[in-house]
A and B are shown apart, each in its own frame.
Chain A
Amino acid sequence: MATIVRPVDEPRRPNIATADVQLPAVKDYEQVDREIIATLHPTTAWFIGLGVAIFFLIVGAAAWIYQIYAGLGVAGYNPPVMWGVYIITFVFWVGIGHAGTLISAILYLFRAGFRTTIYRCAEAMTVFAVMTAGLFPILHLGRPWKFFWLIPYPNWRYLWPQFKSPLVWDVFAILTYLTVSSTFLYIGLIPDIATLRDKEKNPVRKRIFSVLSLGWRNSDREWRHFARAYLFLAAFSTPLVLSVHSVVSFDFAMALTPGWHTTIFPPYFVAGAIFSGIGMVFTIIIPLRKWFGLKHYVTINHLDAAAKLCLFTSLVVGCAYMQEWFVAWYSGIEFEKEFFANRIWGQWWWASVILYTCNMVLPLTLFKQSWRRSPTWLFILSFFINLGMWFERFVIVVPSLSHEFEPWQWGGYMPTWVDFAILAGSFGWFSMWFLLFIKQLPVIAISEVKEIIPPKLRKQHDHGIDSASRHLGYEPATPGEAS
């Protein structure tokens, strides 16, 4: 028998870094099921949003087809700037794809309670962001139809990829990360899918759900295995969070190019990735909690905690920027020094200004609690963060290449409409998947939310309730257990 606890008010300064996050407004399991499943019903606004997303996707796809036909020259490449918007956007999306796993895996291991209500959304974002990022290495190729040559497969020509090339490492890193993060997302979804299955009326969807839920019966044994599997996967994907973006950073760090050739890139990229990821989480979760009426699930406390994490990563990134300057000066390499001078006073000064303002200055506002706890500000800030992080990659890729060793070949760079169309297309592609997701599967983890409903609220029943809110004749020690 569970002990009976007095109702408590929300503390003024909740310690939400621990597991006991409180959702005072959530009364019982039925409410959880009801409210969250309610978010799954398509609305007109949603259809419009989906339409817009698909429109941008088509624009981008058309631009790409045109580029394949006409040649890569239609993009704004301007030697020596041989990489441009595509690689920038690639790194941008990979970065976005980091917050998800961080929140769902690392914070899970750290028992950071505030992850509970936002991790599902973040994780979906991760999977779709990586799916988006994965496109760019292919569509920036001169001969994209030959991309499979980057994959090592035994062939009659006795030819293999160059395993020294960071681009090959990329292939492995991205594919691994995509596999693991999507598996992780799916595993976490299983109990919720089971819930949906039980609530579903439509036979077709019910069938699909029952397949996807792998016949989840909510039994004690299943829960034990589930918890183990989830813990294992969390532990498994934790190093990936660090490895993937490190590998991506090798694309630059392994090159000779001044501004690229530096050992600080891996930590710097990972921090930046998490930073941008959290920014994107804000961009997504804040409107969602409003439109889906989930404010009492994703509470200000959660946002506050996430904002702290955001602030922290921003400081790390800022520190990395400073470090770059120090190294440039300390190394005494003329190329390096001149490049960094050029970064500020050269033709790309404006990009650097955007970068430093968005990533170093603006996040400092989060030191003030009232700003941290203002969804509106967080939402606005998140846009600046996304912008800033995109420009961080711009500043890394373009000015470095345009101002290399050989002064005779110094050049400029101006993207064309094709670059922008494909950039927009990537956002369309991402949004399409995400929009489809939030109307098919719960964007908030039902089962985990149920775990943190204050125990006293269960008291009004003298007996337990299983995940399908069927009444049980006894009070289980584990919520939802039936055996």
Chain B
Amino acid sequence: MKSKRKWLAIPGFLALAAAAATLSAYAGASSSEGNAPAQPVAFPHTLHAGGNLKMNCIYCHYSAGKSPDPGLPAVGTCMGCHTTVAIDKPEIKKLAGFWQRKEPVPWVRVHKLPEYVHFPHMRHVNAGVSCQECHGQIQNMAVVYQQNSLNMGWCINCHIGRSNPQFKARYDCATCHY
């Protein structure tokens, strides 16, 4: 009996391994999920988008409503306020440094889709999908991190109206892949 069990262990182990692989594939585990890189200037969305300022996202990400690309605030935009506001803060000093050196700030990208995926921001924004739907409660993020997996299945769930029926949209491959 004992020896029998011993030799049963091998296929059993293999079966477990296979199951694990399948499950992880099914769950769509994402290596970039939760990725929160350090930025050249520690920009707190909590203060700007959240807190009591509650700036509109579109103020800085000015083309999110009219372009596939959300747009990043030009350094000039930041300096619009920060020539007067909080100029003594170390991070603002960094920012001012960039401004004086006439260098753009090399922000580190957090939310990245592969190049073969086309994500037109304006289509989503104008359809009433809030920024938070994809980017998470970004106004509460001191350091921005990727909250959702941004996996294909995650997109599909919305497009087929499973996760959020009112946002259902076409879901054939060529909607995003071309």
Q: Give the B-binding residues of A (Cβ under 8 A).
A: 153-158, 211
Contacts and interface: CB of A to CB of B under 8 A. Distances in A.
Interface in B140-178: 151-154, 156
Contacts, number: 26
B7 A157 contact: no
B22 interface: yes
A158 B156 contact: yes
Name the 8 nearest CB pairs between A and B, nearest first: A156-B28, A156-B153, A157-B152, A155-B25, A154-B26, A157-B153, A153-B22, A156-B26
Given A154-B26, A156-B25, A156-B151, 5 more contacts: A153-B26, A154-B25, A156-B27, A156-B153, A158-B156
Contacts of B26: 153-156
A155 B22 CA distance: 8
Nearest to A214: B7
Nearest to A211: B7
Contact of A153 (B25, B153, B156): B25
B133 to A, nearest CB: 18
Contacts of A154: 22, 25-26
A155 B153 CA distance: 8
Contacts of A211: 7
User: Interface of chain B, helix or strand or loop or mixed?
Assistant: helix
A157 B152 CA distance: 6
A156 B27 CA distance: 6
Interface residues of B, number: 11
User: Interface of chain A, helix or strand or loop or mixed?
Assistant: loop
8 contacts: A153-B25, A154-B26, A155-B25, A155-B153, A156-B25, A156-B28, A157-B152, A158-B153
B7 A155 contact: no
A155 B28 CA distance: 7
Contacts of A153: 22, 25-26
A55 B152 CA distance: 44
B148 to A, nearest CB: 13
Interface in B14-29: 22, 25-28
Contacts of A157: 28, 151-153, 156
A156 B22 contact: no
A398 B46 CA distance: 65
B153 to A, nearest CB: 3
A153 B25 CA distance: 8
B150 to A, nearest CB: 12
Nearest to B22: A153
Contacts of B27: 156
A158 B153 CA distance: 7
A164 to B, nearest CB: 17
Contacts of A156: 25-28, 151-154
Contacts of B151: 156-157
Contacts of B28: 155-157
